[in-house]
Amino acid sequence: MVIYTVRNGDTLYGIARRYGVDPRILARDNELSDPSRLTVGQTLVILQPKTVYTVREGENLYGVAERFGIPIGELWRNNPFLGGRTDLRAGEVLTVVPEAPVFDREISVNAYVYPSADREVVRKTLPYLTYLTLFSYGLEEDGGLAELGEDEELIELARQYGAAPIMLLTSVGEDGRFSNALSERVLADDGARNMLVEEIATELSEKRYAGVEVDFEYVSGENAEAYASFVAALRDRLAPQGFSVAVSLAPKTSADQEGLLYEGHDYRALGEAADRAFLMTYEWGYTYGPPMAISPLNKVTEVVDFAAGEIPPEKTVLGVPNYGYDWRLPYRQGESRARSLGNVEAISLARAKRAAISYDEEAEAPYFRYFEREGGVPVEHEVWFEDAKSVRAMLGLVDSFGLMGIGVWNGMKYFPQLWQVLNHTYSIRKVMG
């Protein structure tokens, strides 16, 4: 796998000729909407598979899988353009055996989606996943479980593709916001806690989930021990039934880090209580903050370094963002609000605005600026997002620290370079047949 950065004067055909690949396949692999127009600074993933196969008339994916003796899931993963379909067209070129992964190890991969997720996007994503986590169950005023609803289809779809469906339990109330009052009501009352644990156990069994992930945010420091005890009690109750328990953690760099987002998350205690610990290593650049990388690698590394001393790496999951932000300049604290956008959308925007993309080597993230006329006046914007290079840098931390894997927030928009780079960096663990 080669990650190529487009230079001034480059064309798709020229790049393809330089690396000895078919330009049509290069465009297909990167899902380029307009192959004739490239943007300076844009990255392209160039794949050089070991074995390819040209489909003959009347063949389907099951037949190709049988011919080569490989699971159909691998063919989906190596050929994302199929979108999970099994019907084939004569002349299509399939990657049967890709080049060897960069690292000789297997990792777990999770992605978070809402029930409203585009099913086409979900089907293209599932072959790369160990877990599919559904966002989210919440809490009732009495501490009971507020059901997600309309999740059965995604649960069944995940199972069809060999991904374990996971219930996400959050401290989100009826207003859609995280509430420490709701979570602390559960943590402070043994009766409410036990009721919630039993309701979760019942829901997991009835809906055929494979486990639960707990994401209680804004837990106070006074309730840190109670929070870890709740997660431990949940695991004690669910483990005998074969359910896993994970926990989401705010991105801390020290045990005594101040701030309501951090104080209730005791890394060591929660890491011991859960089967997996998900580091929410994103949102340095966020809606109301100043323009900057979403997950600057130097900052993310500090979090992972701290976590490595508190939680066994084989339990630790690195958060990887799958989105960017567009800020209107100048940034004004308390007034500015960035617009969220997908990574593919960011490239399209740069192309439309004829903006060259730059790359911050310290943060390991791409960005660009452009002007938009508002009322006849040019207003400058700054966009930070992810590309193949930034994904590769994040994935490198998994090997450097020996982590369990990654969790992608979120899987609602398909970003081909994310999954292509992942697929050619690690083997992907499957816990369901």
* Cα–Cα distance, 367 to 355 (Å, whole number): 10
Q: Which helix (H) or strand (E) holds 319?
A: strand 316-321
Domain boundary assignment for the chain: 2-97, 106-323+387-428, 327-384
The answer to whether the peptide bond before residue 330 is cis (omega within 30 degrees of 0) is yes
Q: How many angstroms separate the first and last alpha carbons of the chain?
A: 29
The per-residue DSSP string of 132-148 comes to EEEEEEEE-TTS-EE--
Instruction: Mark whether 283 is an active-site residue.
Output: no
The tens digit of pLDDT for each residue in 120-177 reads: 999 999 999 999 999 999 998 888 899 888 899 999 999 999 999 999 999 887 777 7
* Cα–Cα distance, 356 to 114 (Å, whole number): 33
The tens digit of pLDDT for each residue in 253-266 reads: 999 999 989 999 99
* Cα–Cα distance, 124 to 330 (Å, whole number): 38
Kindly name the residue from 217, 263, 310, 386 that is annotated as catalytic.
Answer: 217
Whether 78 and 423 have beta carbons less than 8 Å apart is answered as yes
The tens digit of pLDDT for each residue in 349-363 reads: 999 999 999 999 999
* Cα–Cα distance, 119 to 84 (Å, whole number): 10
Q: Where are the beta strands (DSSP E) in 145-295?
A: 145-146, 164-170, 211-215, 244-249, 276-279
Q: What is the CATH number of domain 2-97?
A: 3.10.350.10
Amino acid in the structure at residue 396: G
- Global confidence as pTM: 0.96
Question: Do 106-323+387-428 and 2-97 fall under one CATH topology?
Answer: no
Q: What is the CATH number of domain 327-384?
A: 3.10.50.10
* Cα–Cα distance, 247 to 307 (Å, whole number): 13
| Topology adopted by domain 106-323+387-428 | TIM Barrel (3.20.20)
The tens digit of pLDDT for each residue in 30-88 reads: 999 899 999 999 999 999 999 999 999 999 999 999 999 999 999 999 999 999 999 99
